[in-house]
Amino acid sequence: MRYPGVMKPGVCWAVVLLAAACGEFLAPPAGGPVPVVQALLVAGEDTQSLWVEWSTPADSVYRPAVRPIDSALVDLRLLGPDGTATPFLPSSGTPGRFVARVHVQSQSTYRLAGVIADSAVSAQTTVPAPLRILSPATDTVRLRDGESVPLVWGHNGAASYALRLSIGFRAGFLADTSRVIGPCPRTTCVWTVLALDAAAAAFLIVNEYFSAPLPRPGNVRGASGFFGSAAADQRVVVWQP
């Protein structure tokens, strides 16, 4: 599964801990291939990503397990707190990915509206409160092979937390607010903590932990999938020879 703004297709993910989450879950539409929406708005980022695919591979000629929908069938908009509508436009060279140039704010409500394959689609998310990493206190940390440092962040009421590593590996979902991290071999990497809202946490954890087949219940009306949000903070870890 695609994890908008967080992962790339084909990356293997490992779940560390299952965290409880709740939210409004809607049964996916019945019959035939169903559009699956996956969107994670990230506070502080200027570009928001959304993936749309079919629930079955019948219409895909891209590659196994990747079922992007024809972009001509997708007309979606991101509605901001003030009602401003920004279109999700196809991302060049990445079938199934759509982007909206919007700077998302914490503790604000955003809506998804539009049409996929002649079916009306809608959803809503309220972005979690700001997330702050408490330790390390500095934005950049230098570590040698074998060294490690505690990564500690403040609890902001999120349904769950996830870690993202810039070299293409995610450490998993966490219920607590700390993790020990180390350097990436012979390179600089960025550790990002994501505080997930209930819709994102529930859909993603069920997918990763239970490998539930598509389509599955989510918070998107008119399709399967989720429209969620996250607050984030990060630390740069520099490998020291």
Say if residues 175 and 15 touch (Cβ distance below 8 Å).
no
Say if residues 151 and 179 touch (Cβ distance below 8 Å).
yes
Q: Which of 24, 33, 12 is nearest to 223 (CA)?
A: 33
Token pair of 21 as six digits: 């989450």
**Domains and their CATH numbers in the chain:** 35-239 (2.60.40.10)
Beta bridge partners of 149: 181
Measured CA to CA, the distance from residue 39 to residue 99 in angstroms comes to 10
- Per-residue confidence (pLDDT) for residue 33, from 0 to 100: 76
DSSP output for the chain: ---TTT--TT---------------BPPPPSS--EEEEEEEETT-S-EEEEEEESSGGG--SBTTB-BPPGGGEEEEEE-TT--EEE-EEPTT-TTEEEE-----TT-EEEEEEEETTEEEEEEEEPPPP--EEESSSSEEEE-TT--EEEEE---S-SEEEEEETTTEEEEEESSSEEEE--BTTBEEEEEEEEE-HHHHHHHHHHHHH-PPSS--BS-BTSEEEEEEEEEEEEEEEE--
- Per-residue confidence (pLDDT) for residue 105, from 0 to 100: 96
pLDDT tens, per residue, the chain with 241 residues? 444 444 333 222 222 222 333 344 555 555 567 888 999 999 999 999 999 988 765 444 444 556 778 899 999 999 999 999 999 999 988 888 999 999 999 999 999 999 999 999 999 999 999 999 999 999 999 999 999 999 999 988 888 898 888 875 555 677 788 999 988 888 999 999 999 999 988 887 655 544 455 556 689 999 988 999 999 999 999 999 8
Beta bridge partners of 108: none
Distance of CA 174 to the CA centre of its chain: 15
Token pair of 173 as six digits: 């979902």
Hunting for tokens 């990503």 — which residue is that?
49
Cα-based angle 31, 33, 34 (whole degrees, multiple of 5): 85
- Per-residue confidence (pLDDT) for residue 206, from 0 to 100: 59
Say if residues 5 and 40 touch (Cβ distance below 8 Å).
yes
Measured CA to CA, the distance from residue 205 to residue 58 in angstroms comes to 26
Hunting for tokens 């019948």 — which residue is that?
58
- Per-residue confidence (pLDDT) for residue 23, from 0 to 100: 40
pTM above 0.85, yes or no: no
